[in-house]
Amino acid sequence: MRAAAIVVTVVVVGLGAGAASAQQNPQAEQLFRRGQELVKQGKYAEGCDKLEASQRLESNVNTLLNLAACREKNGQLATAWALFLRAASEARKSARDQPLVQVAVGFSAKLEPRLPYLTVSVPDTSRVDGLAIVLDGRTLDVEEYNQGVPIDPGTHEVLGRAPGHEPWTTSVTIAEAERRSVEVPRFKEVARLAPGTGAAPAGGGGGAGSAGAVDERNPGMSTLRKAAIGAGAVGVIGLAAMTTFGLQARSTWNEAQDTGDDQLRKDAESKAGLATIGGAVGVAGVAAGVTLWIVGKPKHRDGGTAWIPVVSSRGVGLAVGGRF
């Protein structure tokens, strides 16, 4: 309590009578004076808010010192310490404020032994891609991991999050001059907690868009196998076209031979060409379908059945297969 009073007294004397804050902005000056009144009344939280608003309107070393003293009275030791250091840094920039440098440095030095320190330990096993550790709404820099961070006495929340993993949070209460630590645990992957969400299980495997990922609504089907069915369907259509045009070509050709009609002969040749194209498309489609079906084998978590295409000289069909 005495510390804050000394700061105010020193600042007023240093700036001269009638210039308690030496601010040019009338609104900033009014907020400064109202903040001082509230502090004298013991309404520290409200007084600090007024002083902080004054500082935002017009930066002033005197306001910073008074704000730092107010934060100390309000129990915010780390915040006050940082403000004293900031005031010292700002005072060094101006010849007029040089006498205030030692004032700010002196009060910061007296506060330092009272500071609590919180260490957020992040083991290597917890450092997954995209990791963010948030302390009271502020994302910590990686360099702050495993290091004591000055913090105000009280209860604080530590949150850890990373893409594809379950978030983790904890709270810690720390007192003046106390040193405490919290350890970030190994994060749990979402896939392990909720199978079927599409996230990859630990240890590798496909993600939400993986070709071999199992469609939970149809366990025998994966993305590639769906594509295989499409390719196979095109192949079947091509083979059907080959058969149809081939039969028509043979019939037309026989008729042309019987009648000697050149136009019928040309029609037969045209249909034969279409049959050849259909056959090529059919064979390619079926081959692609079979390949995609094999490559796209679902990554079954347990036993199940699946439809498997069968190609033989008799045609194309499906057979049931799987693990039992």
Contact between 14 and 27 under an 8 Å Cβ cutoff? The reply is no
Q: What does the pLDDT read at residue 13?
A: 33
Mean pLDDT per 10-residue segment, the chain (324 residues): 40 36 84 97 97 96 97 98 97 94 97 98 95 96 96 97 96 97 95 53 45 51 75 81 83 79 80 82 80 68 48 50 47
Domains 2-113 and 117-190 fall in the same CATH topology: no
- What kind of architecture, by CATH, is found in domain 2-113? Alpha Horseshoe (1.25)
Contact between 120 and 146 under an 8 Å Cβ cutoff? The reply is yes
**Phi/psi of residue 41, nearest 5 degrees:** -85, 0
The tokens describing 130, both together, are 């995209």
Distances (CA, A) of 218 to 134, 168, 251, 304, 322: 40, 33, 45, 11, 14
Q: What are the extents of the domains in the chain?
A: 2-113, 117-190, 223-323
90-94-95-100 Cα dihedral, nearest 10 degrees:
-30
Q: Residue type at 196?
A: G
Distances (CA, A) of 47 to 50, 68, 77, 236: 5, 11, 16, 82
**Phi/psi of residue 119, nearest 5 degrees:** -105, 125
- Where are the strands (E) in 152-286, listed by range? 154-161, 168-174, 179-183
Residues 198-237 as b/e (b if ≥16 CB within 10 A, e otherwise) read bbbeeeeebeeebbbbbeeeebbbbbbbebbbebbebbbe
Q: Is the dihedral of CA 7, 9, 10, 15 positive or negative?
A: positive
Edge-to-edge strand list for the sheet holding 148-150: 148-150, 117-121, 179-183
Fold of the CATH domain 117-190: Immunoglobulin-like (2.60.40)
HEC assignment per residue over 128-177: CCCCEEEECCEECCHHHCCCEEECCCEEEEEEEECCCECCEEEEEEECCC
Q: What does the pLDDT read at residue 28?
A: 96
Does residue 199 sit in helix, strand or coil?
A: coil
Q: What does the pLDDT read at residue 302?
A: 45
Q: What does the pLDDT read at residue 298?
A: 62
* Residues found in the chain: 324
Does residue 120 sit in helix, strand or coil?
A: strand
Residue 243: which H helix or E strand, with range? Answer: helix 223-259
Contact between 295 and 224 under an 8 Å Cβ cutoff? The reply is yes
Distances (CA, A) of 260 to 232, 257, 264, 265: 40, 5, 8, 8
Does residue 236 sit in helix, strand or coil?
A: helix
The pTM of the full predicted model, rounded to 2 decimals, is: 0.55
